[in-house]
Amino acid sequence: MTNTSTKDEALYGMLTEALPGFLISDFLKCQRLPSLPSVALRILRLTQSSKATINDVADTIEHDPALTTRLISLANSVHHTRSANPTQTCLEAIQRLGLDATLTVVLSFNLFQHPSKGPQHTHIWRRSIMMSALIARQLAEQACPKQAGNAFTAALLQDIGILALSATYPEQADELYSDSAISHTQLIAEEQRYFGGDHTVIGAWLAAKWGLPSAMVNTIRFSHACYQSDSLMDMCVRLSGPTADACLSKAPEEQLAALIADISTKADVPSLSFKSVLQEVQPKMELIAKTLMIDTPAAIDPKELLENAQQLLLNHTLILNSRREAQHEALTMLRKGYSDPDGFNKNIAFKKLNPQSRAKS
């Protein structure tokens, strides 16, 4: 395990105690448990620093010849139609791919690999590697620009607990994650039922084991909590998953409308432009998909998607207002009838007040 500070050791111990003993024992015995090499750890720490430069990142990656070769190869493969001059150095590769894609490659080179190529894992990788991380960055660009890079990294790692479960219990994981349509809330409940712990706690435990900063560990731990948070960066990470789920669903307009409606009830969530987020994410998602050789999710039209979602919200609001008006009218009639009982039929008034009763009659 990577050496950590006393505080990190305390956090690691707390997370260890939060999980069933058999899980920890099986994880520690698993030869395929995801690991984070020192180069990747240094890169992650660099991304946390506002003083780090692209040259610092290149110098760090060059300590790993295999990773450097992979990065240069991918930069040439992805951009071969854009430039006649091939990439020859790590720095040039990073400049062509961008820091987000570079970080994704660094982590995927060691983490996001699984022997199963089934559709359930493809969906999980699309959600966490591609969409959630990019969405978190764009949300943070609006809410807390200086922490956009941290939001990208945290969202990229928010589902790493699934990697640990898939590596340790491949058969059970294949069964558990077979339904790509299941919501993350349902997924966490199923993980609790299967393993006695969910992938947020497991992911935080794994991150603490690697020696990631405590703030990053806690962001992973609470990445699926309520959107409201004292940290705007944490809020962006928590919103990234549901937004990605909506975009990847079979009914994106309905899920996005529900998400926007839910956010509107949270007083501490700032106003965010999802149209801007989705417009920025689309081309970057295609680049990262090519870089990682993963099929790109079906293209979406951000403008059309948001317009349809907002229309659904409007229709829902009109229906609710109509029901409220009908109930108000019935209540008025009810009060009037009780004050003048001679001209009042209580059965009729009750049916007007209660639509369900009226439907059964």
- Residue spans per domain, the chain: 6-36+111-249+277-298, 312-360
Query: Does 188 score more than 60 pLDDT?
Result: yes
Q: 206-226, pLDDT tens digit by residue?
A: 999 998 889 999 999 999 988
pLDDT band at 1 (very low <50, low <70, confident <90, very high): very low
Question: Following CA atoms 324, 328, 330, 334 in sequence, which dihedral angle do they give, to the nearest 10 degrees?
Answer: 150
Q: 252 with 246: CB under 8 angstroms?
A: yes
**Tokens coding 46:** 């660099």
C-alpha separations of 89 from 38, 56, 290 in Å:
21, 14, 20
* Model confidence, pTM: 0.78
Query: Does 288 score more than 70 pLDDT?
Result: yes
Spatial neighbors of 79 by CB under 8 A, at least 6 apart, are 87, 96
C-alpha separations of 289 from 107, 201, 284 in Å:
14, 28, 9
pLDDT band at 320 (very low <50, low <70, confident <90, very high): low
Q: Residue 341's pLDDT is what?
A: 56
Name the amino acid, one letter, at 256: L
pLDDT band at 2 (very low <50, low <70, confident <90, very high): very low
pLDDT band at 38 (very low <50, low <70, confident <90, very high): confident
Q: What is the mean pLDDT of the chain?
A: 80
Mean pLDDT value across residues 310-330: 70
Q: Residue 347's pLDDT is what?
A: 56
Q: Residue 120's pLDDT is what?
A: 58
